[in-house]
Amino acid sequence: MKLRKYYPTVVLSDIHLGSEHSRTKEVTNFLKHIDCDRLILNGDIIDGWQLQKSGKRWKQAQTDFFKVLMKMMEKKGTQIIYIRGNHDDFLDKLVPFRFSNISIVKDYLLNSHGKRYLVTHGDIFDTITTNMRWLAMLGDIGYTFLLWLNKIYNKNREKHGKPYFSLSQHVKHRVKSAVSYISDFEKELVKLAQAKRLDGIICGHIHQAANVRYGNVHYLNSGDWVESMTALVENEQGEWNILTYNKAEYDMEEESVSKPVLYAEVI
């Protein structure tokens, strides 16, 4: 019998269901092997921008993801909080919505172990996303192209026995404007937490997982399920970790009928 990992709270964001680059099967597999009291889907879970493009169709893998969510709610009583992001802004007409143990909101205040965390996707602090949607969508096209190029590049690396290399992450860390954007994004969210006298803030949006402290504010970012395949998890002592799903090693474990390999990064 496989032992399932238990976490009081799990946060996922930026799955981008509907995008051909979404790691839908991996995130579904991840959820099949955990139990949690509270699952926070922190924005850009469904990629409405991609689905509205000509020729895009809803696929079985995406349905399977929601089937797992329903099983978690029905069999384990998991509370699911879905926070809208900029790519699933079509949910604005539903917010706020609550039915049974699922709710759809714009943001969420998490109270745990005597600490208060604001959970928000983070796009409201992105002036391009909020004020210049056409430019954001243009940027999305560029990012999609980079992911397509990345797929071809890594297939060639795989043939030569080389490990996976993320072009987009490389660009983020090497281009000065991208580094500055990420830094400014984090600082704005920290300022919000300070203004509201919160202990921390949990976000997504920029596809950059993080678990750091800025003074007395705990800044957490759940990353994404397009490339990095990361999740934020809270243990029973109220400590937060970043989990990274390792597909290659998971496949090896699956052959020996074992549980998936998940690495915890504690900061």
**pLDDT per position as a tens digit, 105-122:** 999 999 999 999 999 998
Beta-strand relationship, 107-112 and 217-221: unpaired
**How far is residue 142's CA from residue 199's CA, in Å, rounded to a whole number?**
36
| Residue partners of 33: CB distance under 8 A and separation at least 6 | 2, 4, 5, 259, 260
Question: What does the pLDDT look like over 67-90, one tens digit per residue?
Answer: 999 999 999 999 999 999 888 888
Residue 192 has pLDDT above 50, yes or no: yes
Confidence category of residue 188, pLDDT binned at 50, 70, 90? confident
What pLDDT was estimated at residue 128?
42
**How far is residue 69's CA from residue 76's CA, in Å, rounded to a whole number?**
10
Confidence category of residue 224, pLDDT binned at 50, 70, 90? very high
Closest-CA residue to 13 (of 48, 35, 45, 46): 45
Residue 2 has pLDDT above 90, yes or no: no
What pLDDT was estimated at residue 194?
95
* DSSP three-state, residue 246: coil
Residue with tokens 């009928």: 257
**How far is residue 123's CA from residue 71's CA, in Å, rounded to a whole number?**
30
- Strands across the sheet containing 230-234: 97-99, 102-105, 79-83, 34-42, 5-12, 230-234, 240-245, 262-265
What pLDDT was estimated at residue 11?
98
What pLDDT was estimated at residue 185?
84
Q: pLDDT higher for 225 or 254?
A: 225
Question: What does the pLDDT look like over 148-162, one tens digit per residue?
Answer: 666 776 777 777 777
Mean pLDDT (the chain) is 81
Residue 15 has pLDDT above 90, yes or no: yes
* DSSP three-state, residue 117: strand
What pLDDT was estimated at residue 58?
81
| Residue partners of 200: CB distance under 8 A and separation at least 6 | 115, 116, 117, 118, 193, 217, 218, 219, 220
Closest-CA residue to 120 (of 199, 42, 233): 42
